Amino acid sequence: MIRRLVLMVLFTAVPLPGQDHVDQCLQCHQTLEDEPSTLFIRDIHRLRGITCAGCHGGDPRAEEMEDAMNKQTGFLGVPKGDEITGRCVKCHSDQERMKSYGSNGRTDQELLLRQSVHGRLSVSGKERLVQCTTCHNAHGIVSVKDKRSPVHPLNVTATCASCHGNPAYMRNYNPALPVDQLPKYRTSVHGRRNARGDTRVAECASCHGSHDIRSAHDVKSSVYPTNLPATCASCHSDSVRMKPYGIPTNQYESFAESVHGIALLEKHDPGAPACNDCHGNHGAAPPGVQSVSQVCGTCHALNADLFSRSPHKRAFDQRNLPECETCHGNHSIVAVTDRLIGSEPPAVCAQCHSPTEYPAGYTAAMSMRAIIDSLVTLEEQARALVEEAEQKGMEVSEQRFALRSVRQARLESRTTIHAFDKAKLQEVAAKGIAAARDIHVQAQEAIDEYYFRRIGLGVSTLIITLLVIGLYLYIKKIESNGQQR
Ligand code: HEC
Ligand code: HEC
Ligand code: HEC
Ligand code: HEC
Ligand code: HEC
Ligand code: HEC
Ligand code: HEC
Ligand code: HEC
Ligand code: HEC
Ligand code: HEC
Ligand code: HEC
């Protein structure tokens, strides 16, 4: 009895916001058993006290249809085209109004949507292609975190793919745009886990955004190469999110410090790889031991080619070792130095080769380092001599030009290392070594000539000076002879 009284008091004195009056629209439409009213029962708007009139106008207190749905008293009817978004944003872009319903959520959805690739698309140039209801529906809207929401992480892929997986539809807008994102995604670690109900993995919206989706070529896009590493890192550097999987969370940090990361993030080099160049966009998965060199080889083609014909190819395959990664690492690849080759650490060769372990590689590593070293030393000496000759004003432009071919041979040698074949390296380095020796000789000749000319000049200056002095004395003598007379 007392309980009932308390409940009655509660219900009359503390109405839920907006539920102080009955929604006659809903009541009548429920008797019609139409779809909108059926779906509206669970709608978040109804739970916030918003009635059918919140979007359609009219008087939700009127019991009669003619009064309730009277255009004179503000009934708006069924919105069409851009009017639809117009209805939603009357609240969703109005912070004060949203606050009056107890909501502190964002109010920038329309602003972002307008700037997005979707917001700019239009039907026949008049109305926008995508309205709020395209992704959220009109009736039965629930919290985006609710499993029934079309934008919940487990459903959003189907929502996006309803257009993006439809070739006939997409052809109207951009025939060149691939329509295979969802099937590819399903093959990735992300997609496989998502299909099993894991909401921590990336889905379409976690990489592309929701309202501010932009073309992949737009510099403001979350998947534009220079922005992408941060997009991936929003999860992969989040140790709390990643904890259940027990995988490292240092990929971004390592990448940012790597030769690739510096080239991409600091130098904005469009040729440098972002995460997706090695992991794929939609088929995002680790390249895997077998395919690593193919990934690296898309940019470093020569190295990959030499490697695949080298003795290491079979040796690494047999031991299930990744090809490039074994010596260079993956995320923390640094600029190389000649110290990486040789028989002693920090040379990578020393990890596996020693006088007792695979000794053929050990001696080869030692000689290969010696070849590289002699090329480098000869190049340095030749360059120093050319510079000295230039400072002395000698004409050595041809030698300066020839230095380029030495440099080229040095770069080529470093690539040729990947054949892991001393003879091949010798062949490439020999061209540089021979050129460096020639330059050395020619620059030395120029310098010698400089000294020769200087001595020549000194001697002739001396002779002229002596002559002048002699002449002077002679004139003096003639003058004094004249005075004596
Ligand atoms: C007493 C019953 C009743 C009430 C109250 C009522 N409706 Fe209706 N409504 C109907 C019926 C019946 C139809 C379908 C007949 C028609 O299209 O004219 C309809 C149609 C509609 C339509 C579709 C109109 C169209 O052009 O297709 C909308 C939108 C609508 N109602 C919204 C509302 C809203 C909003 C309210 C409250 C402000 C409301 N209704 C109150 C009975 C009612
Ligand atoms: C959050 C805004 C919103 C609310 C609240 C809302 N509607 Fe709608 N309604 C729409 C929009 C937008 C359309 C336009 C068509 C579409 O996109 O489905 C629509 C279309 C309709 C239509 C015509 C098309 C159809 O789906 O049959 C009817 C009837 C309708 N609404 C009735 C109602 C009734 C009844 C309620 C309350 C129980 C209601 N609506 C609440 C936004 C809303
Ligand atoms: C291209 C699909 C798409 C369109 C169009 C769209 N949304 Fe969303 N919306 C989403 C996704 C996806 C989420 C989930 C966001 C997330 O998890 O980060 C979302 C989330 C929301 C939220 C929850 C709060 C937030 O901002 O994260 C609101 C409110 C919302 N949308 C309103 C709107 C309104 C209003 C419009 C029209 C101006 C609109 N949406 C258009 C996809 C869309
Ligand atoms: C009369 C004001 C009003 C109108 C009109 C309105 N909404 Fe809402 N909407 C709200 C309020 C209030 C909430 C609850 C927000 C919250 O809980 O933070 C909400 C919640 C939502 C959510 C769930 C957001 C979340 O945090 O998960 C979505 C999605 C949404 N609305 C979409 C729409 C769409 C689409 C339309 C137009 C068809 C629309 N709304 C029209 C007031 C409105
Ligand atoms: C109503 C259909 C529709 C829906 C739903 C839709 N899109 Fe789109 N989307 C398009 C069309 C059409 C284009 C424009 C293609 C063009 O002109 O290049 C586009 C463009 C894009 C682009 C830019 C492609 C490029 O040029 O690089 C991305 C990214 C994108 N959508 C992602 C999404 C995601 C993620 C979702 C789900 C949250 C989604 N879309 C939902 C139709 C849709
Ligand atoms: C792990 C992050 C990630 C996920 C998840 C993801 N994308 Fe992408 N998406 C990308 C990247 C990165 C690109 C840019 C490719 C490039 O640079 O050309 C891209 C490009 C696109 C494009 C442009 C055309 C193309 O295929 O290159 C569309 C459209 C697109 N994505 C839609 C989707 C849809 C739909 C989903 C969900 C099924 C999705 N994406 C899931 C990262 C992702
Ligand atoms: C929404 C969060 C989120 C985003 C964004 C995200 N990932 Fe993931 N990713 C995960 C989770 C969670 C896993 C599951 C980890 C696992 O299975 O070991 C995962 C798995 C992976 C794996 C497989 C790891 C393994 O254990 O084999 C790779 C590779 C990967 N992500 C790369 C990327 C790349 C590249 C991007 C950006 C284009 C990206 N991810 C964006 C959450 C995310
Ligand atoms: C130069 C190529 C390359 C780039 C760039 C790259 N990765 Fe990787 N990533 C790899 C390789 C190789 C592996 C190891 C695969 C294996 O061993 O099977 C890997 C492994 C991973 C894994 C599995 C866990 C781990 O650490 O071993 C994740 C997650 C991952 N990468 C995320 C990223 C993210 C996020 C970025 C961008 C910040 C990124 N990767 C950039 C090549 C790359
Ligand atoms: C057995 C160890 C080893 C393996 C495996 C290996 N490298 Fe190297 N790599 C080196 C060493 C050592 C150097 C440094 C040579 C120098 O500077 O003298 C180097 C240098 C490089 C360079 C800089 C020189 C140049 O060619 O511009 C690139 C790029 C490179 N490696 C890419 C790769 C790629 C791609 C793969 C896989 C196909 C790979 N490496 C496999 C040891 C290795
Ligand atoms: C999308 C193209 C691309 C991919 C894929 C790529 N790289 Fe690179 N890499 C570059 C560029 C560009 C540079 C030069 C950066 C700079 O020095 O500014 C570079 C530099 C390097 C260097 C340093 C070379 C030097 O002269 O010091 C090494 C080593 C290297 N990459 C190895 C790898 C390995 C191993 C992989 C695969 C795991 C890989 N790269 C994948 C483009 C790529
Ligand atoms: C991860 C271990 C590993 C690293 C690192 C490594 N090697 Fe090897 N290398 C091998 C194995 C295993 C073989 C095959 C030995 C055999 O089958 O007898 C081999 C074979 C060779 C051979 C062929 C030897 C012959 O039989 O003719 C040469 C040359 C060679 N390595 C040079 C190098 C050089 C130079 C480096 C450093 C830049 C290096 N290796 C780094 C494991 C490695």
Token pair of 357, please? 């372990």
> What pLDDT does 287 receive?
63
Q: Are residues 50 and 97 in contact, defined by beta-carbon separation less than 8 angstroms?
A: no
| Calpha distance 117→223 (Å, rounded) | 13
Asked whether 110 and 93 are in contact (CB, 8 A), the reply is yes
Which string of b and e fits 27-36 if b means at least 16 CB within 10 Å? ebbeeeeeeb
Amino acid 100: pLDDT: 95
Structure-block tokens of residue 323: 């090809």
- pLDDT at position 125 is 81
Among 292, 325, 349, name the best residue to mutate to test ligand 11's pocket (greatest count of ligand atoms within 8 A of Cβ): 349
Which ligand lies nearest to the CA atom of residue 331 in the structure?
Answer: 8
Q: Could you tell me if the CB of 92 is within 6 A of ligand 3?
A: yes
Residue 139 Cβ contacting ligand 2 at under 6 Å: yes
Q: Indicate which ligand has the atom closest to the C-alpha of 40.
A: 2
* Burial class of residue 428 (count of CB atoms within 10 Å of its CB; 0-12, 13-18, 19+): buried
Which mean pLDDT values do the consecutive 10-residue runs of the chain (485 residues) have? 44 41 89 96 96 96 93 93 96 97 95 94 86 97 97 98 96 94 94 96 97 96 97 98 96 97 97 93 70 84 95 94 92 94 95 96 97 97 96 94 96 97 97 96 95 90 92 91 73
Q: Which ligand is nearest to the CA of 195?
A: 6
Residue owning the nearest CA to atom 16 of ligand 10: 263
pLDDT the model gives residue 30: 96
Ligand 5 centroid–CA 116 distance in Å is 9
Ligand 7, residue 280: give the atom nearest the CA. Answer: 35
pLDDT of residue 292: 72
Of 314, 332, 318, 322, residue with least CA distance to 295: 322
Residue 244 tokens read as 């259940």
Is the distance from CB of 93 to CB of 111 less than 8 angstroms?
Answer: yes
Region of 48 on the Ramachandran plot (φ > 0 left; ψ -120 to 50 alpha; else beta): alpha
Best residue among 338, 352, 424 to mutate for probing ligand 11, ranked by most atoms within 8 Å of CB: 352
- The Cα-based distances of 475 to 139, 464, 472, 480 in angstroms read 122, 16, 5, 9
Site to substitute for ligand 10 among 264, 324, 333, most atoms within 8 A of C-beta: 333
CA distance linking residue 291 with residue 307, whole number of Å: 13
- How far, in Å, is the centroid of ligand 10 from the Cα of 191? 28
Lining residues, ligand 10, CB within 6 Å: 259-260, 263, 267, 269, 271-273, 277-278, 292, 295-296, 298-300, 324-325, 328, 330, 333, 335-336
> To test ligand 5's pocket by mutation, which of 109, 113, 117, 173 has the most ligand atoms within 8 angstroms of CB?
117
Residues in Cβ contact with 190 at an 8 Å cutoff, skipping those fewer than 6 apart: 201, 202, 203, 284
Task: State the Cα–Cα distance between residues 423 and 122, nearest whole angstrom.
Answer: 64
Residue whose structure tokens are 């002095």: 469
Instruction: Give the integer Cα–Cα distance in Å for 14 and 138.
Output: 29
130 lines ligand 3 (CB under 6 A): yes
Query: CA angle 7-11-13, nearest 5°?
Result: 110
Q: CA-based angle 300:285:324, to the nearest 5? A: 30
Give residues with Cβ within 8 angstroms of 416, minimum separation 6: 306, 424, 425, 428, 429
Dist CA 426 CA 40 (whole Å)? 79
Structure tokens at 35: 């779809």
